[in-house]
Each structure stands twice: as structure tokens, then as C-alpha cells.
Amino acid sequence: MKSDLHILALDTAFGEISACMHTADGAFLTAATPEQGKTRSTAIVPLLAELLQQAGLTWNQLDLLALGAGPGAFTGLRIAAATLAGINSGLNLPMLHLSSLAITARQCDSSEAIWVLEDARAGEAFVGCYQNGSPRCADQCLTWHEVMAMQAGLFVCHNDVPVALDGWSRLPLTVSRSQALLTATLAELDALASISQLPRYPAPVYLQRSQAEKNLHG
Amino acid sequence: MKILGIETSCDETAVAIYDGDPATGRGELLAEQVASQIETHARFGGVVPEVASREHLVALPAMVTSILAETELSWNQIDHIAVTSGPGLMGALLVGTSYARAAGLVHNIPVAPVHHMEGHLLAPGLAGLLPEFPFITLLVSGGHTQLVRVDRIGSYRVIGQTLDDAAGECFDKSARLMGLPYPGGPEIAMLAKGGDAKRFKLPRPMLNKDNLDFSFSGLKTAVMYAVKNAGGIDAFDQQMMKDMAAAIEASVSEVLVKKSIRACIREDAPRLVIAGGVAANHTLRHTLFNLAEKKGVEVHLPHPKHCTDNAAMIAYAGFQHLCAGISAPDEWDATPRWPLTA
């Protein structure tokens, strides 16, 4: 059973810090809410240390790291990725990369096909479609105009959508992101033949080019 | 005491390990690595912050692994981590600081935030000892042109600075006017080698002002008019390009050197350090040595490879903090705008 592992999972793709631990005996622990006034970059490391302490583990006892790898807010992605890279310095653990949109989809309690429409700014959206945790298509970055032209359906998101989506129905996020992060991690693990082939370094999925790249390539 | 230095403030990912003895304040650089992103950014004509941050994230973790292997050290032999926490590009700084914090946590190693420009101004110490205090440092790079009085480690006073463009920025913008690729400074330096600096008359901005400040935006405008008056850049043959490059170098160098020497005399601190990317410029160094000798000013220059962004200077600055008993603040964060004297 790959769930017999000590796992540390982290995602900061959409603002908040979501961190959780799954221990080999099946315990599930979530990080506390960060201290008010602290930035994510200063709050994240103490939260992870506290989480490990709660689990009664040392860093060397971890078996796997899981990263909400994007797409999402660039700053959030790099804080989580650089933090996990630092944690993995010397530990050399396999690192499971999870779609941040798949995590969002798991925050919604529905068996229907759900669109995840997260605002990517600059008139664009990160778009994914999931049903019972499985992708119906690849995550992509589309303009909001392209989204408006799609066939309407059920959708979830974290922030307000900047356009009017006629015929679409927004569903509430009823599951905590940490819980969704853990569920996504365990589901991905079950689908893997082995964790030994997983990468050791983080590789965020941005999907969206910087403005300078757009200007250059049109 | 072994210190791992990490630098990701702009477009160079760099790591280094410095081994210092706090009792003597001396030590040696065990290894350093720099991964430059210049080629990546050249196609944009300048550094793109988002692209820089992404590249740092790819490069940094593997470089740390690599430098530990190169020095045959393990994490439990590293005593401190010194990381650039500002000033610089926010996203780029966050990669280095987030990595350093987490690595420090896992390996129980204290992490010290270092001011990027402090790294530059202490860089001559990498070659041996720092100059006797007080000394004057000219920090001159793509983003900075400052004269700083150094009374001791951690005690810095800005006594002069540019009122508009930095000297390196002036090189880059002038190079663009001449149709040269980014980064412009090295391109101009290469061309200037065979040039006659007297062919084009360019101003020496603010040299006659009785202060220690600089201004280089007017020089860039003067270059624009000089090119226009000579028939435009398309009318320039190779020799004219070389002469123009030499004239730009001569103008910038003369202003920087004369104002720096003036600062040493005025502050009664006859020791001068020149640091930052532009300090690698050959004409600047040559002009400086000539005038400094005449005025009785001792000159301390970092090795050219430690003039541009590197992590050796960050590790060394971290070491000097420890020697001086300066401990890291309890709370610190990546700080894109961070005055040296705050």
C-alpha cells in the first residue's frame, strides 16, 4: 500500500497556505492557520515544522513530498516549490506533482463533471475539467472570451470571475483545501506503479507566459 | 566555519561555500558556481522578472547539490546559510530565501539574510583581508551607482549617488542607441578596445558640481545626439563604432573615478573599493589606478569574477556578520527595495 507512507503535502497556488501530513498509520494532520500579519514566505516554514512536530516525526522519516504544482498564481507556486526544494535538500525524496486545479475540483462535493475556472489575470483563466477526481481534459490557460464561448456547465473557483458567465452554475467549495490536497495525493499515489521514478526537484506547471514572452511571440 | 551562500536577486543563480575562521576574520572560498541567464534575457532586451524567477527555481536546487558534491561536504558540515534577501526582483529573491529557510529548517542550520549591495562592497575581502576602516566604496552596477562610507561591518553611510540612471544603465541604453545587443556594458567594453575616445566629445556630467552625486541620463542623451549628428547609426563604420564606445567609456570612467577620489579625500578615508558589475570594466580600472596613485589613495578591487553577481560575496558578507557579532533578525523577509543604510 503506497498510503503506508509518511507524506508531507503543500499547495499555495491560490492564496492560502494549504499543508497537510499523512502518516503511515493513517493519521491526517493539517497545518494551523498562519499567524496574522505574516507573509506566506515567512509563515510557511514554521507551519511545516509544527506539522511535523504534531505528527511526532523527524524530517528523515518522511517518505514522500507532494506539491500543488500549478497552474496558479506565480508567486504562490514558486514559494511552495522553492520551500519543498529546500526541504528535499539532502533528503532526496520523491516529489509527487499534483494539478492545483485538480485539488480545487476535489474541494467540491459533486459527482458531476466540474469545470475549474481560476482567474489567471491579464484576461485569462486557468481551466480544468474533472469528474470524481479524474481529468476530463488537460489543464489549460484560455482567455475569458474563450471560456465564455464554451458550453456552459458547473464550475468552481476561488476568486470572483471577472466576466459574466451566462448559463454557468457556480458550486460552493465545501471541502477544505488541505483535505482536498490529501485526497488528491492519495488518489495519485494509488494510480502510480512506483514512487521511485518520481522527480526529486520541483517543476511547477505555469501554463501562462509572462507578458514579455507574449509581447515577443505575439 | 563553513557558510553556504545563495544569490538569486536578479539574473544570475549562484551558490558558494566559504570556509572562514572567526578568530582571524580570514578564510578561503572552497567553491562557487554561477548560472547566468544572460542568453535567456537577451532576446527580450533586458531582464524579465517572471522568466528570471522560473529559471532560478530550475537551477538552484541542483546547483546546491552539485556544490556540496564538488566540495565533498554534507549538509551537517555546513554551519550557516547566507542568502541574498534584497534588494532585487521580488520573485527571484523569494526562490532563494524560501529555499534557504526550508533547508535551514531541515538541517538545523541558522540562516542569515544578506543585503546584496553589502555583498558587493565587502567582496574585495574574498581575496584576503578587507581594507582598514574607514574606507569608501563605489558601488557601480546596472541598477546602482552609489558612494558609501564604510566605518565597520554593518555601518554604512551613502555619501553620494546617482540622481537618475545608474552607470551600468547608461552603458546599456547607449549600447541600444548604437544597435548593440543586451547587455550593453560588455559590448561597449569590447568595442572600445580599438577606439579613439577623443573623436566624439561627450560631457562629464556633474563633475564640476561640488558634491558626490552622479547623473548619467544626460550622457545617454548626448550619445543620442552625437550619433544623430554623425549621420545616424547606419552611417557608422566599424571604427566609428569603436570610437563612440571608447568615448562613452572614457566619460563614465572619468566621472566615476574623479568623484570617488574626491570622496576619499573629503571623508579623510584614503582607501577605495570599487565593486559591482561595472567595476570589471578595464578602462575604469585603468583610469582609477592612474589617478589614485597620484592622489595617494589605496585601491582595492575584487577579482573581476566577483564584481558581477555571485554567491561568494554573499557567503563572505554572512561570515563577516558572524565575526562582527551581528546576528540575523528574528523576523525577515525578501525585501525588493532595501536601502543599504536602513
Residue range B174-194: mean pLDDT, rounded: 92
CATH superfamily of B2-123+306-323: ATPase, nucleotide binding domain (3.30.420.40)
pLDDT at B341: 81
Mean pLDDT of B293-309: 93
Q: How confident is the model at residue A172 (pLDDT cuts 50, 70, 90)?
A: very high
CA dist B14 and B5 (Å) reads: 8
Residue B57, chain A, CB below 8 Å: the answer is yes
Please check the confidence at residue A34 and state whether its pLDDT lies above 80.
Answer: no
Q: Quick check: B163 contacting A, CB < 8 Å?
A: no
Identical fold for domains A2-99+176-206 and A103-170, yes or no, is yes
CB contact under 8 A, A201 and B61: yes
pLDDT for B141 equals 82
Indicate the range of A30-34, A104-108, A177-181, B86-90 predicted with least confidence. A30-34
Q: Give burial (CB, 10 Å; 0-12/13-18/19+) of B184.
A: buried
Give residue limits of the domains in chain A.
2-99+176-206, 103-170
Q: Could you count the other beta carbons within 10 Å of the beta carbon of residue B1?
A: 16
Question: So what's the ipTM on this one?
Answer: 0.96
Q: Hey, is the C-beta of A58 within 8 angstroms of any chain B C-beta?
A: no
Which member of A41, A88, A204 has the closest CB to residue B94? A41
> For residue A213, which residues of chain B lie inside 8 Å, CB to CB?
48, 51
Strands B298-300 and B271-275: parallel
Angle in degrees, CA A145, A147, A152, rounded to 5: 130
Distance from CA of A126 to the nearest CA of B (A): 18
Out of A44, A59, A212, the one facing B51 most closely (by C-beta) is: A212
pTM: 0.94
- Asked whether the beta carbons of residue B99 and residue A83 sit closer than 8 angstroms, the reply is yes
Nearest by Cα to A12 from A70, A92, A85? A70
Residue B342: pLDDT over 70: no
Q: pLDDT-based confidence at B288, cuts 50/70/90? A: very high
Query: What whole-number distance in Å separates Cα of residue B289 and Cα of residue B339?
Result: 29
Does A216 score more than 60 pLDDT? Answer: yes
Closest partner CB to B44 (pick from A49, A82, A216) = A216
Dist CA A185 CA A109 (whole Å): 17
Q: Identify the pLDDT of residue A212.
A: 86
Same CATH fold assignment for domains B2-123+306-323 and B132-302: yes
Each residue's pLDDT tens digit, A143-170: 999 999 999 999 999 989 999 999 999 9
How many C-beta atoms surround the C-beta of residue A198 within 10 A?
Answer: 17
Q: Which CATH class is domain B132-302?
A: alpha beta
Best mutation target among A10, A45, A92 (most B Cβ atoms within 10 Å) is A45
Taking CB atoms and an 8 Å limit, are B102 and A85 in contact across chains?
yes
CATH topology of domain A103-170: Nucleotidyltransferase; domain 5 (3.30.420)
Confidence of residue B277 (pLDDT cuts 50, 70, 90): confident
Note whether A117 and A105 are within 8 A (CB): no
pLDDT in tens, B211-240: 999 999 999 999 999 999 999 999 999 999
Question: What are the chain B neighbours of A48 within 8 Å (beta carbons)?
Answer: 102, 105
The pLDDT assigned to B216 comes to 95
Answer for the pair A80, A103: CB distance below 8 angstroms, yes or no. Answer: no
**Buried b / exposed e across B44-53, counting CB within 10 Å, b at 16+?**
eeebbbbbbb
- What are A53-102's pLDDT values in tens digits? 999 999 999 999 999 999 999 999 999 999 999 999 999 999 999 999 99
In chain A, % of residues over pLDDT 70: 98
The CATH fold assigned to A2-99+176-206 is Nucleotidyltransferase; domain 5 (3.30.420)
Closest-CA residue in chain B for A45?
B102
Pairing of strands B80-86, B111-115: parallel
| Beta-carbon count within 10 A of B92 CB | 31
Most A CBs within 10 Å: which of B57, B108, B330, as the mutation test of the A interface? B57
Is the pLDDT at A126 greater than 90, yes or no? yes
Average pLDDT on B2-20 reads: 97
CB contact, 8 Å: A193 with chain B? no
- Identify the pLDDT of residue B49: 93
Cβ contacts of A86 on chain B, cutoff 8 Å: 61, 98-106
Give the pLDDT mean for B266-282: 93
Note whether B333 contacts A48, CB cutoff 8 Å.
Answer: no
Q: Residue A71 and residue A124: Cα distance in Å, rounded?
A: 12
Min Cα distance B52 → chain A (Å) is 11
**pLDDT of B41 over the 60 cut:** yes
Q: List the beta bridge partners of residue B81.
A: B4, B111
User: What is the C-alpha separation between B247 and B195, in angstroms, rounded?
Assistant: 8
Q: Residue A85 and residue B332: Cβ atoms within 8 Å?
A: no
In angstroms, the CA A77 to CA B244 distance is: 46
Q: Using the predicted structure, report yes or no on whether residue A30 has a pLDDT greater than 70.
A: yes
Predicted local confidence at residue A2, as pLDDT: 65
Q: Does A83 touch chain B (CB under 8 A)?
A: yes
Strands B2-7 and A169-170: unpaired
Q: Which amino acid does the sequence have at A138?
A: A
> Packing angle between helix B184-192 and helix B167-177, nearest 10 degrees?
70
- Within 8 A by CB and 6+ apart from B124, the residues are B130, B131, B273, B275, B300, B301, B302
Question: Closest Cα to residue B309, out of B272, B333, B277, B271?
Answer: B277
Residue A196 φ then ψ, to 5°: -65, -25
Domain boundaries, chain B: 2-123+306-323, 132-302
Output the CA angle A60-A82-A23, nearest 5 degrees. Answer: 35
Checking if the pLDDT of B142 tops 80, the result is: no
What pLDDT band is residue B251 in, cutting at 50, 70 and 90? very high
For residue A39, the distance in angstroms to the closest alpha carbon of chain B comes to 8
DSSP-derived secondary structure letter, B87: S
The reported pLDDT for the residue numbered A28 is 94
Instruction: Report pLDDT digits (tens) over B76-113.
Output: 999 999 999 999 999 999 999 999 999 999 999 999 99
Contact criterion met (CB below 8 Å) for A68 and A103: yes
Among B44, B11, B51, smallest CA distance to B181 is for B44
Q: Are B315 and B5 spatial neighbours (Cβ–Cβ below 8 Å)?
A: yes
Task: Give kind and range of the element (H or E) at residue B52.
Answer: helix B49-71
User: What whole-number distance in Å separates Cα of residue B48 and Cα of residue A209?
Assistant: 11
